[in-house]
């Protein structure tokens, strides 16, 4: 995002076959700065449990579940809220 000079991220879609938590942790600065909506395809129950534990720390809640999970920020964040 920084390298491409993207200034306002509104949506992150994640479909990475098991590396969802790594992607979310790697995107924490962007998540803190822009509070984008997040769509995640999750194939494994263990990955789902990890994401369920992580996203509330980022002030996100699940708002929809189909073949994917849709998370929306509960508030606009400042970077100090993300561990």
Please tell me the number of Cα atoms within 13 Å of 65 on its side-chain side. 6
Q: What's the pTM? A: 0.75
Give the residue carrying structure tokens 């494994």. Answer: 44
Confidence of residue 78 (pLDDT cuts 50, 70, 90): low
Question: Residue 14 pairs with which residues in a beta bridge?
Answer: 40
Q: Map residue 47 onto helix, strand or coil.
A: helix
pLDDT in tens, 28-72: 989 998 999 999 988 777 888 888 888 888 888 888 777 677 778
Q: Are 30 and 12 in contact (CB under 8 A)?
A: yes
Give the residue carrying structure tokens 């990955």. Answer: 47
Give the residue carrying structure tokens 């189909």. Answer: 66
pLDDT higher than threshold 60 for residue 79: no
* CB-based burial label for 53 (10 Å; 0-12, 13-18, 19+): exposed
């Amino acid at each position: 995002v920084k390298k491409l000079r993207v200034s306002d991220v509104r949506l992150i879609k994640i479909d990475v076959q098991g590396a969802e938590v790594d992607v979310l942790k790697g995107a924490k600065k962007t998540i803190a700065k822009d509070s984008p909506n997040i769509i995640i395809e999750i194939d494994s129950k263990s990955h789902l449990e990890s994401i369920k534990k992580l996203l509330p720390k980022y002030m996100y809640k699940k708002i929809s579940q189909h073949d994917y999970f849709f998370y929306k920020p509960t508030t606009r964040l400042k970077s100090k809220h993300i561990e």
